[in-house]
Amino acid sequence: MLDFLTANRIVIVYILTLDIMWTWESVAPYFQTSRNRIRHDLRNLVVGTFNGVVLGAIFASMTHNFTGYISDHRIGLIFLLSPPWWRHCMLAFPPDAPQR
């Protein structure tokens, strides 16, 4: 282990420097005192909420339209195989993979 550390000193210095910089970048904003910080945070929350609502509505409507199209045109494994009703449930809710 000591041979590895002495042979790769510069790589370890780079890794430690990068780690210190990332830590400082993550922790430093909590120690800043700014009058506009709360307004800035509220603006970010409003933009993030608006983004979530708009993207949620867009993807929900896209999913609804896509499944309607697939159902109307009878595309997919369920329509191709025409399995009995109990296999529909198996195709809709596949079992989880076993945990290791």
Q: What is the pLDDT of residues 57-69, one digit of tens each?
A: 999 999 999 999 9
- pLDDT value for 97: 64
The pLDDT tens digits of the residues spanning 8-54 come to 888 889 999 999 999 998 888 777 767 677 788 889 999 999 999 99
CB of 90 closer than 8 Å to CB of 82: no
- pLDDT value for 100: 66
Token pair 């109990």 in the structure block, residue: 86
CB of 51 closer than 8 Å to CB of 37: no
In the three-class reduction of DSSP (H, G, I as helix; E, B as strand; rest coil), residue 33 is classed as: coil
- pLDDT value for 19: 94
- pLDDT value for 1: 64
